[in-house]
Amino acid sequence: MANELDKQVLAKAQAWLNGDYDEATKQEVRLLIENNPKELVESFYKDLEFGTGGLRGIMGAGTNRMNIYTVGAATQGLANYLKKNFPGENIKVAISHDSRNNSRLFAERVADIFASNDFTVYLFDALRPTPELSFAIRELGCHSGVMVTASHNPKEYNGYKAYWTDGSQVTSPHDVNIIEEVGKVTEVKQVLTGKNPENIHILGEEFDQKYLAAIKALSLSPEAVAKHNDMKIVYTPLHGAGVKLVPQSLRNYGFNNIICVEEQMVLDGNFPTVASPNPEERKTMAMAIERAEKEGADFAMATDPDADRLGVALRTGKGDYVLLNGNQTLVLLMSYQLTRWAELGKITGKEFVVKTIVTSMMPDTIAEHYGVKCYNCLTGFKYIAKIIREQEGKTKYIGGGEESFGYLPGDFVRDKDGVAAITLVAEAAAWARETMGITLYEWLQQLYVKYGLFREGLVNVVRKGKDGAAEIQQMMVDFRANPPKSLLGSPIVKILDYKTLEEIDVKSGERKAIEGIDDKSNVLQWFAEDGSKVSVRPSGTEPKIKFYFGVKAALACVEDFERVEKELDQKIADIAKELNL
């Protein structure tokens, strides 16, 4: 079997040596053949898949790598699908990219291919955040768009996200149909290049101002900002696309004491100051937190390389800094928006918020308190965007997010928006200081007293390679056949299976359709009698299966917070142990 694979790999590599590829790529392939057979196999043993969100992979030569040829095939396939969908129309597309190595090269290749297909192309003059790309698609009336980014993956990676007419990442049926078209592009000569450069229009600072103006319109407490405009705000873009627009947006709101982590304001796809450019990790936020400690700032914030996710570290009453998890950031932002909407008389009973099924259950409780509908959707912001699209003209979207550090206030963007979210965190801090004389962290603790202390946990079980993928699938089969009967002695009362879209009442055996969701996904959820919840989901982008835990308890007073928090964390650890994780 190994010999057969080696033969297939060598045949594919030889095809690149004999084919219509540039000399530098051929030389890279030759070096792999001569010096690194293991890497040769990794580079050619399969084709880099254009999944439901686009491409993501390690950069290098080969069919299983991100390079101008795999990017080219993806773009030509997308172009062919757009032509089929919009016959006779002047098709318009927008393109942006982050700070990763080769991102500009790939973005320019995408622009060239679209232009060569006789599309009108809008290409940003340099890196821009993912949310601005989404905004551009809507603002310019585009049919599609591409963001070249691998989000917060390690530096070796790059990626390609495809967007649809509403500014969201593609959903069914377009996602699978695009995959089919991309699969038909098997030779370099099928990819159109080098034609119609006049079709490419460059977007610059003038367009940034339109996006920033839309964020400014989200402001709910300008008077509080005016009184606390000198509040110390520490920010880092982690060498990425938030570098200009986040500070500009904060200044737009009126904040004038923005302290940037200068070493991380340098655009560099090698991300030299961090092991990983992921603001979910405390070590990634270390320089920003250190600067906040030095300056005595209330918080330190960061955006990831494409500035759609945000990290927030808040100062506690003891003077140290707590890095919020994605659920806590969502709860703060949603609570702030709902509180101010209510105070300003903007809630009429026709508003809604959205969160994903693996996110905390606390937003459901908060939304219910304000008489606002809370939709739950599958994991991924494209599903949040889908609900916004379906509700357009009927009810008003306020905000929404997911546990993986993404939040979207307002509907002029249809993906996570780190620029807008960070700006609203700062405004919320000014509002809390002005109206209650407290910090955001103190307000978060008060919210737990009001609504209950919801605590979440995540365990990733990694299984690499072909065998690992099979093992992950078998785990899901086994869980469906034999779900747990209880969680730490509390009986399982309800099971949701998103593969069959069934809700199962464990006691009666009754089955009914899951309300409000029509997209299938390989996800299971178990709900225990005491309110505990476990969600099981194989990752769509990494070789892992994820276990999401949700537990809750009443919190009598802020003074009990640390004790109850530790008890809940222990409960999560005990549930994970019970599940043999």
Show which residues are catalytic. Answer: 151
Residue pointed to by tokens 């990983």: 276
Task: Say if CB 220 and CB 344 are below 8 A apart.
Answer: yes
Question: Is the omega angle on the peptide bond into residue 131 within 30 degrees of 0, that is, cis?
Answer: no
Distance CA 154, CA 563 (A): 36
CA 202 to chain centre: 26
Tell me how far apart the terminal alpha carbons of the chain are, to the nearest angstrom.
33
DSSP β-ladder status, 144-148 and 120-124 = unpaired
Per DSSP, 164 falls in state -
Burial tier of 481 (Cβ tally within 10 Å: 0-12, 13-18, 19+): exposed
Q: What are the backbone dihedrals phi and psi of residue 467, each rounded to the nearest 5 degrees, phi first? A: -65, -40
CB atoms within 10 A of CB 466: 10
At residue 121, what is the residue type? V
Distance CA 516, CA 503 (A): 12
Give the three-state DSSP class for 12: helix
Question: Cα separations (Å) of 411 from 18, 416, 421, 519?
Answer: 49, 11, 13, 22
DSSP output for 393-428: TTSEEEEEEETTTEEEESSSS-S--HHHHHHHHHHH
Q: Is the dihedral of CA 378, 383, 389, 393 positive or negative?
A: positive
Beta bridge partners of 66: 59
H helices of 454-560, in order, are 465-481
Distance CA 79, CA 65 (A): 21
Give the three-state DSSP class for 87: coil
Distance CA 525, CA 379 (A): 13
Q: Which run of H or E residues covers position 549?
A: strand 544-553
Distance CA 414, CA 214 (A): 13
CA 140 to chain centre: 23
Question: Cα separations (Å) of 380 from 111, 325, 355?
Answer: 26, 17, 10
Q: Which residues touch 546 (CB under 8 Å, ≥6 apart)?
A: 358, 458, 459, 460, 461, 535, 536, 537, 538, 539
